Amino acid sequence: MKTLYSIPLVTPGSAESFPAVSLSGPLPDGEWSVRTYTLRGGLQEGVQVVEVHNGRLSFAVLPTRGMGIWKGRCGKVRLGWDSPVKDPVNPAFINEQDRGGLGWLKGFNEWFVRCGLNSMGAPGMDTVLDYSGNPYQVPLTLHGKIANVPARSVSVEVTEEGICVRGEVDETMMFGPALRLNTEIKTSFASGAVSVADTVTNLGDNPVEHQMLYHINYGAPLLEKGSRIVAPFKQVAPRDPRSVEGIATHDLYGASEIGFVEQAYLYELAGKRGSRETLAMLRNAAGDLAALLRFSLKDFPCFTLWKNTAGTADGYVTGLEPATNYPNVRRFEREQGRVITLAGGDSRSTYLTLETLETRQAVKSAESEIAKLQETAKGIVHPEPVSSLSGS
């Protein structure tokens, strides 16, 4: 696979500013392009953007926000949502401890956001060790740090096959977790899919806890009245009393409703034997458009569905959330045995594909694939929170 371009964008120790790159090339059926720039002014000051267009699918990676993906578009389908937070926010302006540990929500507007690396989920007190090895209580903030750490190394490569953006993000400190994320965000020319291959490494000598959740978010047009989640599951349970109210329609979305209070459903998905590969799909009401996630339960054993069909100004949005555990407070997840520990120097790699389906046939085909997996599982719908799944 011949490399056409290989361009460093951010380099540790460098005094070079993020470059304004503009590359493009012909495709049988259009043109690919890569464009990089730095946003200026307001809370977006200094936010670096890598815009990738593979000829069919386009998306914008944000190195400054932990290599999240701001927004995408596949043909006419917008991938992302409308947050009350209008611009990508430079982490320099984020205080995660704001509003009782909910400061993360002041920068939340991306299509694809990683939560982690040392903690994620609801804010809450947890016990950590100080520099003398003594336990003490600290307030963990919502969804951890990684979305608010700028990447220390970023590059883009264009090959004969497609485009790959690579990034390295350090969530480290002295006397605390020292975790490094290496990501490859890759797409083939003219494809409707983008893949995210992440490796998280414990740079330290001692074991450290690791949590990761991909917060993958959609508003219109994929989310609308009558949209559905289709995923093969062994069991699903509501997260809390509010979610109990909607368990009968856990897989179905309503119209935008001002004042709607979020609901969350915790799934144990079914996967293929051996590879444990699975898939989860958000399809529109007509069944001719869908977002499809493919991943292995080895990488992401827990899947959470976040339904926030609130008013459009407040954020009409749903989140599909493959993760190492459920987004409860870390203390609870630890008690349930769901928090991963990485030994000193150890790495953990994961792989996930985000696909856009633009035809009724493609949606049907995915539905069949899911139905086949569903046959291997009972599909239990718990009416109440289940302690082995939930934190309530």
Judged by CB under 8 A, does residue 216 bind a second copy? no
Among 33, 38, 296, 353, binds a second copy (CB under 8 A): 38
Q: Work out how close the CB of 194 gets to a second copy at its nearest, in angstroms, rounded to a whole number.
A: 22
Choices 5-13, 181-189, 276-284, 325-333; region in contact with a second copy by CB under 8 A: 5-13
Residues numbered 336 to 375 that lie near a second copy (CB under 8 A) are 344-345
For residues 62 and 85, what is the distance between their CA atoms, to the nearest angstrom? 15
Interface mask toward a second copy for 172-211; x: CB under 8 A: xxxxx-x------------------------xxxx-----
Phi, psi of 147 (to 5 degrees): -70, -15
Phi, psi of 353 (to 5 degrees): -120, 135
Complex with a second copy: residue 152 or 276, whichever CB lies closer:
152
Report the SS3 class of residue 229.
strand
Q: Work out how close the CB of 9 gets to a second copy at its nearest, in angstroms, rounded to a whole number.
A: 8
Among 13, 26, 28, 337, binds a second copy (CB under 8 A): 13
Complex with a second copy: residue 206 or 349, whichever CB lies closer:
206
Complex with a second copy: residue 250 or 294, whichever CB lies closer:
250
**DSSP code per residue over 165-203:** EEEEEEE--TTS--EEEEEEEEEETT-SEEEEEEEEEE-
Q: Note whether 222 and 290 are within 8 A (CB).
A: yes
Q: Note whether 218 and 124 are within 8 A (CB).
A: no
363 CB-near residues (< 8 Å, 6+ apart): 281, 283, 287, 288, 289, 290, 357
Among 2, 40, 76, 273, binds a second copy (CB under 8 A): 40
Complex with a second copy: residue 178 or 363, whichever CB lies closer:
178
Residues numbered 267 to 286 that lie near a second copy (CB under 8 A) are none
Q: Work out how close the CB of 176 gets to a second copy at its nearest, in angstroms, rounded to a whole number.
A: 6
Q: Which residues pair with 72 in a beta bridge?
A: 59, 79
For residues 346 and 302, what is the distance between their CA atoms, to the nearest angstrom? 22
Site size toward a second copy (CB under 8 A) is 84
Q: Work out how close the CB of 145 gets to a second copy at its nearest, in angstroms, rounded to a whole number.
A: 9
Quick count: other Cβ atoms within 10 Å of Cβ 102? Answer: 16
Among 255, 261, 286, 371, binds a second copy (CB under 8 A): 261
174 CB-near residues (< 8 Å, 6+ apart): 131
Quick count: other Cβ atoms within 10 Å of Cβ 39? Answer: 18
Choices 88-96, 269-277, 290-298, 346-354; region in contact with a second copy by CB under 8 A: 88-96
Q: Work out how close the CB of 286 gets to a second copy at its nearest, in angstroms, rounded to a whole number.
A: 26
Judged by CB under 8 A, does residue 108 bind a second copy? yes
Bond preceding residue 9 cis, omega within 30 of 0: no
Q: For 239, which DSSP code?
A: S
Residues numbered 132 to 151 that lie near a second copy (CB under 8 A) are 132-133, 136-139, 149-151
Among 157, 184, 277, 314, binds a second copy (CB under 8 A): 314
Strand (E) or helix (H) holding 125: strand 124-129
Judged by CB under 8 A, does residue 310 bind a second copy? yes
Residues numbered 241 to 260 that lie near a second copy (CB under 8 A) are 242, 258-259
For residues 123 and 327, what is the distance between their CA atoms, to the nearest angstrom? 10
Q: Work out how close the CB of 249 gets to a second copy at its nearest, in angstroms, rounded to a whole number.
A: 18
Structure tokens, 33: 């392009």
